[in-house]
Amino acid sequence: MEKELELYDVTIVGGGPVGLFTAFYSGMREMKTKILEYLPFLGGKVSYFYPEKIIRDVGGIPAVTGDTFTEQLIEQATTFDPTIVLGKQVTTLQKLENGNFIVRTNDGEEHYSRTIILATGFGSLKTIKLDIPEATTYESGNLHYTVRNLEKFRGKKIVISGGGNSAIDWANELEPIAEEVTLIYRKETFSGIESNISKMKNSSVNVLTPYEVVILNGDGEIISDIVIENVKTKGQQTISSDHLIVNHGFAIDLGDIAGWGCDMADGTIKVDNTMQTSIPGIFAVGDIANYPNKLHLIAGGFNEGPIAVNSAKLHIAPSEELKALFSTNMESFQDKS
C-alpha cells in the first residue's frame, strides 16, 4: 500500500437495524469496528420509510415506532464507539496477499479491514412508483409512498394501493384514526403476515380486490378522486379520497457489491452456517444473506449478526478459543450499586 491505512478488525457495510446490532456485538467482542453507510444517517429503511410504523416482531418489545426503535439501536450500537462513516457508497473490493481487504467507496476513499460483514439489506432501495403518467405531479400533494406523520391522516378518507406487509400494516394503523380506509390490490390473495391480514379483514377497512389504480383526478397537485379498474372484468369505479398511499414495494440494487465474486442466488448472497460467503473473511447478515429456511425478520438478523461477528473473530485468530459472551457477564454492564 502506498499509504498507511488504519486497520479495523471488522468493517460492517450497512447501518440499518441488523448492521447496528452487529456493531454492538462486535464491540462487546472487543473488535475494532467500522460502519460504512450509504445514507447520510443511520437506521436504514426503517427510519427512512417507516418512522411511525409500529414494530412488534422483536422479542421483549411489545410495540415500538420505527423512529424510537432506531434511536435505541443507535444508542446501543455506539456503546463501544465504533467508527461511523456516513454518505459513502461502497464500490470496489481488493483482497490483499496478507488476507486483509481494502474497500473503496464512490469518492475513492479506502477502508482497510481484516474482515467484512455485509448488512446492506437488499442493497439500495428505490420505491416502485405508481405507473400512471400524471402520478408524479401529485407527489408534492396528497400522493404518498410512505407515512411520516400519522396525525396528517386523522379524520381523512384514505386509499391504500398494495397487498404486501407495508400496505396491510398501514391499513391497520390508520383504520382507528381515519374517517375511512380503503385498500385496493390487483390480486385476490394478499402476501402479508396472516394475523395482520385477518385483523384488516375483520376491521372497518374496505378491501377491494382484484383492482388497480388507473386514473387520478385532480388539479395537478391534489387528488380529488381515484378511478380503479377490476383486472378481470375491466369494470371501473370512482373512489373519493383525501390521501392516496402507494405501497408497491421496492426495486432492489446491490450495486457494485454484486460484482465482488460472492456466490449469489435470487439477488442475494449465499452464506454457510457461520454466515460466511464464498469469499473467506467476508460475511453477510440480514436480508442480503441467503441460506435454507431463511426468516426475513429483524429478529432473525439480530441472531445472524453475532454469529457473523464470532465467525469473523475466529477468522482473524483461528487458534484462539472463542468463549461464550453475554452482556450480563460483562463487568461494564453489571450493576455496581
Q: How far apart are CA 125 and CA 49, in angstroms?
A: 10
pLDDT at 125: 63
Residue 273 contacts residue 291 (beta carbons within 8 Å): yes
Residue 47 within any structural domain of the chain = yes
**Nearest Cα to Cα of residue 12 among 137, 157, 129, 111:** 111
pLDDT at 201: 95
Residue 125 contacts residue 250 (beta carbons within 8 Å): yes
Q: Among 71-85, 189-203, 247-261, which range has the highest average pLDDT?
A: 71-85
Residue 112 within any structural domain of the chain = yes
Rounded mean pLDDT, 22-46: 93
C-alpha cell at 272: 454457510
Residues 244, 255 share a domain: no
Residues 79, 51 share a domain: yes
Residues 267, 236 share a domain: no
Structural domain for 206, as ranges = 129-248
Residue 210 within any structural domain of the chain = yes
Q: How many independent structural domains does the chain possess?
A: 2
Residues 167, 186 share a domain: yes
Residues 193, 284 share a domain: no
Q: How confident is the model at residue 335 (pLDDT cuts 50, 70, 90)?
A: low
Residues 11, 120 share a domain: yes
pLDDT tens digits, 90-119: 999 999 999 999 999 999 999 999 999 999
Q: Which of 221, 248, 275 is the last residue of a domain?
A: 248
Rounded mean pLDDT, 294-300: 90
Q: Is 228 left (phi over 0), alpha (psi -120 to 50) or beta?
A: beta
**Nearest Cα to Cα of residue 152 among 135, 174, 131, 169:** 174
**Identity (one letter) of the amino acid at 86?**
L
Residues 116, 137 share a domain: no
Residue 1 within any structural domain of the chain = no
Residue 271 pLDDT > 60: yes
Residue 2 within any structural domain of the chain = no
Residues 63, 159 share a domain: no
Residues 255, 244 share a domain: no
Q: Residue 198 sits in a domain of what CATH number?
A: 3.50.50.60
pLDDT at 124: 61
Q: Which of 248, 280, 305 is the last residue of a domain?
A: 248
Residue 57 within any structural domain of the chain = yes
Residue 138 within any structural domain of the chain = yes
The four Cα atoms 112, 114, 117, 118 give a dihedral, to 10 degrees, of: 40
CB within 8 Å of 298: residues ≥ 6 apart: 17, 18, 46, 55, 57, 58
Mean pLDDT of the residues in the chain: 91
Q: How far apart are CA 314 and CA 275, in angstroms?
A: 12
Residues 35, 22 share a domain: yes
Q: Which of 227, 248, 269 is the last residue of a domain?
A: 248
pLDDT at 245: 96
pLDDT tens digits, 206-225: 999 999 999 999 998 999 99
Residue 51 within any structural domain of the chain = yes
pLDDT at 28: 95
Residue 48 pLDDT > 70: no
Residue 122 pLDDT > 80: no
**Nearest Cα to Cα of residue 285 among 23, 40, 7:** 23
Residues 91, 31 share a domain: yes
Residues 198, 165 share a domain: yes
pLDDT tens digits, 158-190: 999 999 988 999 999 999 999 999 999 999 999
C-alpha cell at 319: 487458534
Residue 11 contacts residue 103 (beta carbons within 8 Å): yes
Give, in order, the Cα–Cα distances in Å from 128 to each of 216, 241, 294.
17, 21, 25
